[in-house]
Amino acid sequence: MADTIVDDRAVFTGFDSLTYAPRGIEITLPNSSEKHYIPDVLEELKPKVGMTFDNMDQAFAYYCNYAVASGFGVRKEDMHFLASSRKLTQLQKHMIQSMAKINIGPVRAFNVMRTIFGGFEEVGVSKNDCKNFKREINLFINEYDAEMMVGNLMKKKEHLPDFSCEYFTDEENCLVGLYSMVFVPFTGIDNHNNNVSFGAALLASETAKTYKWLLRCFLKAFGKQPDVVVTDQDPAMKKAIEEVFSGSRHRLCMWHVMHKLSTKVGVTLCNTTDFKQRICDIVWTDSLSPSEFEEGWHSVIQDFDLSDNNWLGDIYDMRESWIPAYYRDELMFGLMRTTSRY
């Protein structure tokens, strides 16, 4: 028989393994060797769905009495594994959120806390509790993520006089295009000839109107137009630059133009002849004069019978915007392409 001790704090039960004697009915499930034990106790001692207690200790005491009558034991230590007893502390919530910022998920965060606190029992919650908390945070942020980002940036603008941030909303005062937006970085060269990121933007569309707004924001922040602007062949960007950066020299990125060479001319021609080498020799250099470049270009086109290639004709027509021979006397600060530096 088990000893049951009741005081004003809790109830504890202890069983000697030699006197352990379950009282009830043992049954074997059909088509299975698995055995189940059904305690045989008075009806008033059996826990029932819907029963209520004033506190956890009272519920534990009731279950202890049922355990004694049934012939099995319970431990007070197991209580904190019950869902009603598990609760994340503010410290644990802060740890989960902080680790999420460095791409550590809730399960790994739980493992970190288990190591720090000295074991699973000391954490007091389960992995699912951590995952549920992170899911609740994500659900909340999902509705306000854009507002939170804009709010943080505007606060930063208030406290940092050299920091600039602008945004615009639609007729209903809502941010436009929160997902699948276009990232537009502004990268330049400093006095030491190193790359510098001046700013960046997230745009809902790549229209001339949107780019004009963006370039005006740049002017507002820096107070002057850049000397040189290098972009790809986006026509909307070209239109915006002509209007807003009218004093800047607009050049096209050489890499973006030449990257299409194999596709527009043919892989076979580029790989089995010296066509690509000859075209690159006159394009990727600023040692040629405009007339020397034109002479070399026409020679290549004639030798490979490419006078009917419309794409080659188009990029030749706009040669003054991307061929270094036409602006070799201009200060370009090492900029010839947007993807890298020559």
Provide the H-helix boundaries in 127-166. Answer: 127-159
Question: Does 311 score more than 80 pLDDT?
Answer: yes
Query: Domain check: are 323 and 295 in the same one?
Result: yes
The gap between the terminal CA atoms of the chain, to the nearest Å, is 88
pLDDT, mean over the chain:
81
The range of the structural domain enclosing residue 44 comes to 3-82
135 and 94 fall within a common domain: yes
Total domains in the chain come to 4
What are the backbone dihedrals phi and psi of residue 186, each rounded to the nearest 5 degrees, phi first? Answer: -110, 110
> Could you tell me if 113 and 127 lie in one domain?
yes
pLDDT in tens, 189-224: 888 878 888 899 989 889 999 999 999 999 999 999
Over residues 61-81, mean pLDDT: 72
List the beta bridge partners of residue 182. Answer: 203
Q: Any bridge partners for residue 189, and if so which? A: 195
What whole-number distance in Å separates Cα of residue 299 and Cα of residue 20? 102
The sign of the dihedral angle between the CA atoms of 58, 60, 62, 64 is negative
Residue-level length of the chain = 342
| Best CA proximity match to 185, nearest among 231, 228, 154 | 231
Q: Which amino acid is it at 259?
A: H
pLDDT in tens, 78-87: 445 556 567 8
Same domain, 258 and 340: yes
Please say whether the beta carbons of 85 and 56 come within 8 A: yes
The pLDDT value given to residue 122: 80
Centroid of chain to Cα 19 = 60
Q: CA Rg, the chain, in Å?
A: 37
Residue 323 phi/psi, 5-degree rounding, is -90, 120
Residues 12 and 75 grouped into a single domain: yes
- Domain match, 341 and 263 both: yes
pLDDT band at 61 (very low <50, low <70, confident <90, very high): confident
User: What's the pLDDT tens digit per position in 145-185?
Assistant: 777 778 888 888 888 888 888 888 777 777 766 667 889 99
Identify whether residues 155 and 174 lie together within a single domain: no
Out of 32, 60, 82, a domain closes at 82
Q: Which residue do the tokens 């549920």 mark? A: 132
pTM over 0.85: no
Q: Specify whether 139 is located in the same domain as 174.
A: no
On the 0-12 / 13-18 / 19+ scale of CB atoms within 10 A, 84 is exposed
Q: Where is the domain boundary, 102, 135, 160?
A: 160
Q: Among 143, 160, 177, which residue terminates a domain?
A: 160
Max CA pair span of the chain: 109
Give exposure, 301-320, as e/b (b: 16+ Cβ within 10 Å): beebebeebeebeebeeebe
Model pLDDT for residues 217-255, shown as the tens digit of each residue: 999 999 999 888 999 989 999 999 999 999 998 999 888
Spatial separation of the C-alpha atoms in residues 247 and 34, rounded to whole Å: 86
- Based on the fold, state whether residues 259 and 333 are members of the same structural domain: yes
pLDDT digits (tens, 9 = 90+) for 263-294: 999 999 999 999 999 999 999 888 899 999 99
340 and 272: one domain?
A: yes
One domain, residues 128 and 181:
no
Answer yes or no: do 257 and 342 share one domain. Answer: yes
